[in-house]
């Protein structure tokens, strides 16, 4: 599919309010783990304010999400569509846990329990949403009639998903499209969209680590952390 930049006001489909979903783990506004309480990369320590979600907590939660997804898709062979680059680390961990969850259930003997694919949806530069969304990497009619689980690192304003989901439904004719996001940010700028599967609900700070970046820096950081002023200053022109 050709790349398309779109900037009209977002509309949220009723199904994208995810009524009745299992709520994420709620991290209170004052959630703060000191940088010295965990092993935080010396490369980045001076550019971070605090840890928001330690690696072990992230991994445990991803295993829980995988269990829930497997239990709800025993027969449907969902397609996991990873939104690059942010969701790459979450996707790797999720696929590993889904493999375990499906194997333990032995529900797909002789067939594929799920398939995986990738696309790019870009709506951010630095710490600010640009209001424009560019979608690339979705090809042909290979998803027609399928259940697609869009794997995202974070739902912040929700803008990118309000662009991607209609594209999947209307242009690629998928049977069902839902979002699985590691994080959901509590922000006044949210368009109201709620992912169907969410790991953690977090306060309105710019978070980095576990795939989440600031101008491409911090993606490989193991814990999810809050960037500080020095970090923003240091990486504000990094790989834009």
Which residues in 28-67 contact ligand HPA (CB under 6 A)? none
195 near ligand HPA (CB under 6 A): no
Among 137, 147, 201, residue whose Cα is nearest residue 179: 147
Looking at the DSSP assignment, which residues form a beta bridge with residue 120?
84, 136
Binding residue for Mg ion (CB under 5 A) from 10, 86, 158, 199?
86
Cα–Cα distances in angstroms (integers) from residue 53 to residues 39, 70, 85, 232, in the given order:
13, 24, 20, 20
153 near Mg ion (CB under 5 A): yes
Are 110 and 178 contacting, i.e. CB atoms less than 8 angstroms apart? no
Q: How far is the CB of 11 from ligand HPA (least distance, A)?
A: 20
Angle between helices 55-72 and 88-105 (to 10 degrees): 50
Tell me whether residue 84 or residue 107 sits nearer to ligand HPA (CB atom).
84
Binding residue for ligand HPA (CB under 6 A) from 64, 72, 88, 206?
206
User: How many whole angstroms separate alpha carbon 206 and alpha carbon 128?
Assistant: 10
98 near ligand HPA (CB under 6 A): no
Contacting range for Mg ion; rule: CB under 5 A; set: 73-81, 103-111, 125-133, 146-154: 146-154
Q: Provide the 8-state DSSP code for 156.
A: S
156 near ligand HPA (CB under 6 A): yes
235 near ligand HPA (CB under 6 A): no
- Contact residues for ligand HPA, defined by CB under 6 A: 124, 154, 156, 206-208, 212
């Amino acid at each position: 599919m050709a790349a398309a930049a779109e900037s009209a006001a977002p509309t949220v489909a009723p199904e994208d309010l995810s009524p009745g979903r299992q709520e994420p783990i709620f991290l209170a506004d004052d959630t703060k783990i000191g940088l010295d309480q965990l092993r935080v990369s010396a490369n980045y320590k001076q550019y971070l304010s605090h840890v928001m979600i330690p690696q072990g907590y992230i991994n445990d939660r991803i295993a829980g999400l995988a269990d829930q997804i497997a239990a709800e898709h025993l027969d449907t062979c969902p397609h996991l569509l990873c939104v690059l680059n942010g969701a790459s680390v979450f996707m790797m961990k999720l696929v590993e846990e889904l493999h375990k969850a499906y194997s333990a259930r032995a529900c797909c003997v002789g067939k594929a329990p799920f398939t995986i694919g990738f696309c790019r949806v870009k709506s951010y530069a630095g710490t600010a949403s640009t209001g424009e969304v560019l979608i690339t990497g979705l090809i042909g009619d290979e998803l027609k009639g399928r259940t697609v689980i869009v794997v995202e690192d974070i739902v912040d304003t929700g803008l990118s998903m309000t662009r991607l989901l209609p594209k999947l439904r209307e242009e690629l004719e998928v049977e069902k499209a839902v979002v699985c996001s590691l994080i959901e940010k509590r922000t006044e700028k949210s368009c109201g969209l709620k992912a169907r599967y969410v790991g953690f609900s977090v306060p309105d700070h710019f978070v980095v680590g576990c795939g989440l970046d600031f101008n491409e820096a911090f993606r490989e950081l193991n814990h999810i952390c809050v960037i500080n002023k020095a970090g923003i200053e240091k990486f504000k022109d990094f790989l834009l």
